[in-house]
Amino acid sequence: AQSVAQPEDQVNVAEGNPLTVKCTYSVSGNPYLFWYVQYPNRGLQFLLKYITGDNLVKGSYGFEAEFNKSQTSFHLKKPSALVSDSALYFCAVSSMDSSYKLIFGSGTRLLVRP
């Protein structure tokens, strides 16, 4: 069965510092991996995805994520955090044989302090 783990409920970082939000996954076959962001009282917005190819994926708002097959991880990163990055972040996974079914992690709240 597919699953996603986001081990941190909350990540705190100072503005200007690098940030990492962790995600590990379990899926049979090759994974399709996604990051979404949710701002207060809003729906989810797509940030980036890994399907195949280069392990470092660049997405919206300066975010990037690194796919590591041996560690089954897909951590979200940003070199310099902004206060406006404060939000709830979700990692999600699907597989090639059921690519339309996303399984979400429990979410990580990112708090960037000025």
Binding site for other proteins (CB under 8 A): 4, 6, 9, 32, 34, 36, 41-46, 49, 51-52, 90, 94, 96, 99-107
Which residue lies nearer to other proteins by CB, 22 or 49? Answer: 49
> CB of 54: closest distance to other proteins in angstroms?
13
Residue 65 · residue 75 · CB < 8 Å: yes
Residue 56 · residue 66 · CB < 8 Å: yes
Q: What angle do CA 111, 51, 104 make, to 5 degrees?
A: 45
> CB of 86: closest distance to other proteins in angstroms?
17
Q: What are the tokens at 38?
A: 């949710």
Q: What are the tokens at 65?
A: 């994520």
C-alpha to C-alpha distance for 40 and 93, rounded to whole angstroms: 23
> CB of 114: closest distance to other proteins in angstroms?
26
Which residue lies nearer to other proteins by CB, 60 or 80? Answer: 60
Which residue lies nearer to other proteins by CB, 4 or 11? Answer: 4
> CB of 51: closest distance to other proteins in angstroms?
4
Q: Radius of gyration (Cα) for the chain, nearest Å?
A: 13
Which residue lies nearer to other proteins by CB, 25 or 105? Answer: 105
